[in-house]
Structures are given as C-alpha cells and as structure tokens.
Structure 1
Amino acid sequence: MARLFRVAFDPRVETHLIADEGEIIVDEVRRHWMAIVPAILQLVLAAVIMVSALWVNVAYAWFPVLVGLVVAAVGGHRILREHMDRFVITNMRVFRVHGIFAQQTATMPMSRILDITVNKPFIGRIFNYGHFVFESAAQDQGLRLIRFVGRPDERDLTIQRVIQRSGLRTSMVPVEADDDD
C-alpha cells in the first residue's frame, strides 16, 4: 500500500531533467512542515465535528458526520497538494513541479536569475523556513514565488554556488593597496 501511495503521489521530478545534456539535481526541496499546519488543524476540526454526532439526535447524526467527512477531505487534499509541490535546483536551472492530478512545471535557467529575495517572517525564523522571490529580466514568469522553503539561507547559498560555478557571474579579485608610505 505504501508503494502504491508513493508511485501515485510522487511528483517524479527526475522525468523533467535534461539528462542527455548532463543535468543533475543539486537539491530537491519539499515544502516545510509548517505549510501543512492549517490542513492538520482542519483535520482536527473535522474530527471534532464528527464526534459531535454523539450528542445529536440519532435521526440527524448523519449530518455532522457528513460535514466532518467533507472538511476532512478538503484538509487531506491540502496536505496532498503541499506534498506534491517540489522546488528543484539543478546544475542548469531551477524549476517547480506542483499539482495532484494535473501537473504544472515552471522553469527558470540559472542565466535568467538576476536576484533572489529570501523573506523570512518571524515565525519562519523560529522554525527555519522562508519564502523565495525570484527576479528575472522577464516581467511575467511562472517561477516567481516559492513559499515554505526549509533552511532558506542554505538553499540560497546553494543556488548562488551553482550560478558561480557555471561561470554566469564573475568573481571580483580584491586589489591590494600599495604600501608606499
């Protein structure tokens, strides 16, 4: 059963690689666990609603059970949606794969990344997550905001290293001052 779940609900990011050009995954980023906290609270609410059926007239007990099941289904869908959302850093580009039944893929080559803003809200600083905002020369892009990235500072450095190693940005060599005094 676990294998069936893994096969059915895995975004399969490897299928999006340009393997014949030597593209390799540097980092595959899953959503931080804080992204599913609202959905977990929704599941708790569904359980409370269904348990409330114990104190309702037997003829009407089906209603809170039905409402609880709908709330639980929506919460489960939200958890699955977050599980299927992946942000991938390769040696050539960054891309995001998301969607449960229909998948969407947004790609940005490393050469197009002009700026990365790492936004860490207060609670994100506590639990070590943040949000990436990518700026590129294109105005409208499919890959602009990546939310709930765990260890955002490390991942930002990973992207900067890949850009640097690819030769897209040059290094400055410090000029030594003359000691003619």
Structure 2
Amino acid sequence: MRLPTFLMVRNIEPHHLQRYLLPQEEDAVIIRRHPAVLLRYVLEAIAGLILAGVLSGLVSQGTVLTVIWCLWLAFLGRLLFKVYEWSDEFFAVTGVRVMLVHGIVTRRVDMMPLSKVTDLTVDRSILGRMLGYGTVVLESAGQEQALSKVTFVPEPEGVYLQISAVAFGSGDD
C-alpha cells in the first residue's frame, strides 16, 4: 500500500530546503518525521469529540452547547495546525552537516556539522518499535550543539546507517 504524498516520510522534495543548502552540498538523506508525532493531538481531538457528544446529550441549554462545541473546535484547530507544522518540517543529512528545519510562524534551522559528530545512537521505545520510529542521538566532543537529538525518526536503523555512511565513510575506500 502506498501512502498519500503528504504522509510520505521518504523521497520528499521540500520546497524550502534548497535555500538552506550550500552550493557544494548534496542532500544525502531527507526525511519527514514519523506521523506518530501527531498521535497525541489526534487522541485529544477524538477524546474531546466523545466528551462533547456525551455532554451535549446531558445539557440542553444552547449557550452551554455552543461553548462545548467551540472548545472541541479549538482542539480540532490545534490538531490541524500540528498536521500542517509536521508537513513542513524536514530532517536532512548532507555531506557537510545535519539539519532539522522546522517551525511555521518562526522558521528554525537547527544544524550540526558532520565533522563534529563523534557518535550516533538510536533509541527506540516499545511504542516506537511497534509503530516504526525512534530517536537518533548525535553526540559531539566539546560544547553542546543546537541539534543533538531528533525524535520520531522513521526507520531509525536505516537512517542511522545512512548517516554513518555519510559521516564516517562507507568503509569501501
């Protein structure tokens, strides 16, 4: 089964990533974070819908009903904003650096030079193993970097191998 384009986490073409790349950089790995990052907001919207439905059956006053459903619309609006925010966020690894481009209102580009990466770690919780995501921890010697941990990475072992091949060489040399 093929995912709809907006849900794809690999083989994506971020329209705004090119403005952050240097001329000599080739994009080796570009992924979108796993859709599981939205799970909390989906569950909150569903729970709010159920609660609003139950309260609507118990309350007959029009003003209270309006407030109940407006509160649920606020939950739904937050879910829609988070989906839009997720769809515009990218994790990229080039031959020079690792970047996380995120933010709607204020665009942030967190970056760590590949030359500073001394160690990579993959952490996966039980839920992460069931749903197919994990956390990639980038460690460096010296000071704390802006980008040291990327959560909700899809297929983290594969991403780990790709980052390792770019950062430390493929071992074929």
Runs (4+) of structure 1 moved beyond 3 Å? Answer: 49-54
- Matched to 1:83, the amino acid is S
Q: Which residue of 2 aligns with 1:134?
A: 138
CA-CA distance at 1:46 after TM superposition:
3.3
Q: CA RMSD in A?
A: 2.3
CA contact 1:108–1:143 (8 Å) conserved in 2: yes
Which structure would you say has the larger Rg? 1
1:109-128 deviation line (CA, Å, top 9, x unaligned): 11110111110112222222
The alignment covers a number of residue pairs equal to 158
5+ residue gaps, structure 2: 1-13
The range that moved more, 83-92 or 96-105, is 83-92
Check if 1:57 corresponds to 2:88. Answer: no
Residues in 1 aligned to 2:139 and 2:40: alpha-carbon distance in whole angstroms: 29
In the TM superposition, what whole-angstrom CA distance separates every residue of 1:85-142 from its partner, at most 9, and x where no partner exists? 3210112111111111111111111111011111011222222211011111232211
> Does structure 2 conserve the Cα–Cα contact (< 8 Å) formed by 1:36 and 1:78?
yes
Q: Report the Cα offset of residue 70 of structure 1.
A: 1.4
SS of aligned partner of 1:89: strand
Report the Cα offset of residue 25 of structure 1: 0.9
Which residue does the alignment assign to 1:176?
none
Moved more, 86-95 or 74-83: 74-83
Q: Is 1:25 paired with 2:27?
A: yes
For residues 162 and 110 of structure 1, the distance between their equivalents in structure 2, rounded to whole angstroms, comes to: 8
Cα distance in 2, alignment partners of residues 41 and 63 from structure 1: 21
Q: Bigger shift: 48-57 or 65-74?
A: 48-57
Q: What is the aligned partner in structure 2 of residue 148 from structure 1?
A: 152
Instruction: State whether residues 49 and 67 of structure 1, in contact with CA within 8 Å, keep that contact through their aligned partners in structure 2.
Output: no
What's the CA shift for 1:16? 0.7
- Corresponding residue SS for 1:61: helix
TM normalised by structure 1 equals: 0.77
Distance, in Å, in 1 between the alignment partners of 2:109 and 2:15 is 10
Please show how residues 158-173 of structure 1 align to structure 2 within 5 Å. 158-165=162-169
Are 1:113 and 2:112 counterparts? no
Structure-2-length-normalised TM-score: 0.81
1:11–1:85 Cα contact (<8 Å) kept: no
Distance in 2 between the 1:135 and 1:105 partners? 18
Classify the secondary structure of the residue corresponding to 2:142. Answer: coil
Greater relative CO, 1 or 2 (CA 8 Å, sep 6+): 2
Q: Shift of residue 80 of structure 1?
A: 2.8
Q: Which residue of 2 aligns with 1:35?
A: 37
CA contact (8 A) 1:53 1:65 kept: no
Q: Percent of counterpart pairs with the same letter? A: 25
